[in-house]
Amino acid sequence: MPDRSRRVHRYRFRSVWLLDAPPAVVYAVLERAEAYPRWWPQIRSVTLQGEGNGTARIRSLLPYELRITGSASRRDPGAGVLEMMIRGDLEGWARWTVGASGAGARVLFEQEVVVRRPLMRWLALPGRPLFLANHALMMRAGRRGLAAWLARG
């Protein structure tokens, strides 16, 4: 049973964004996490706490806010990779991989986390479809927000 319990609290996400901007420009925007709230509505705040570390408050459609602390674990502009370790209401990692796609950029977002927030753990089985839909809406809004941000220059 403990193995099953871990699985219901674990989430793996993968999103691909195609953007009309050069990969280097997209990478530079994604590298500035403190600016995310300006273009990604669900990222309510980001507070930097030294080089490559910070906290964020995140809220999408469902009526709860996640608080996380992130620590950069890989920054590789040549490979287009930004990766961070996550602690707090979620624990795990997230990674952006930015590459070329025609005249624009292809952005791959991958994340693997375990939910640590008690209410979300308690609602793990009945709430899972809602949590997944909530994340999908957040990612869709993030792509739209970043595309608009890049279009403004």
Domain ranges of the chain: 10-152
CATH of domain 10-152: 3.30.530.20
Q: Is the pLDDT of residue 8 over 80?
A: yes
For residue 141, what pLDDT band results from cuts at 50, 70 and 90?
very high
Query: Facing residues of 82 across strands?
Result: 75, 96
Q: What number is the average pLDDT over the span 81-103?
A: 97
pLDDT top residue among 70 and 126: 70
DSSP category for residue 138: H
* pLDDT in the model for residue 1: 38
Give buried/exposed letters for 7-27 (b at 16+ CB in 10 A, else e). eebebeeebebebebebeebb
Contact 46, 55 (CB under 8 A): yes
Summarize pLDDT for 10-38 with one digit per residue, the tens: 999 999 999 999 999 999 999 999 999 99
- Rounded to two decimals, what is the model's pTM? 0.92
